Amino acid sequence: MIQENEIVMLTLGGGVFIFTLVNQMRIKRIPEWQILVSGFYFLLAGWVLTVIEGFFWRSPLNYLEHLSYACSSTLMAVWCWRVVFGGKQGTKL
């Protein structure tokens, strides 16, 4: 069963996706932009999987949804780390 908040999140995420496509040149000025955008795309994939799992393959799609969220969180953490400590590379991860 699909909930209203899932549709709202997917709609907002779709709007941000379009924004990223339209403003690619501006986004490329953000440090480590590839990691940031990849993290968002994994988050968007999780939102898509949330809606799709309401129709079929509930358990496998739920697993993929949470895997997408985990990948997104990891990428966002890596992006934050590189932005904050990127210029001061004296330590290894």
pLDDT in tens, 49-78: 999 998 999 999 999 999 999 999 999 999
How many domains does one find in the chain? 1
23-41: average pLDDT: 96
Whether 92 is covered by a domain: the verdict is no
Question: pLDDT band at 89, cuts 50/70/90?
Answer: low
Question: What pLDDT score does 1 carry?
Answer: 76
pTM of the model: 0.86
Structure tokens at 30: 């953000």
Whether 89 is covered by a domain: the verdict is no
Q: Where do runs of H (alpha helix) occur along the chain?
A: 4-22, 24-27, 33-52, 58-85
Residue 16 lies in domain:
4-83
Burial 38-55 (b: 16+ CB within 10 A, else e): bbbbbbbbbbbbbbbbee
Whether 90 is covered by a domain: the verdict is no
The residue with tokens 């379009």 is: 18
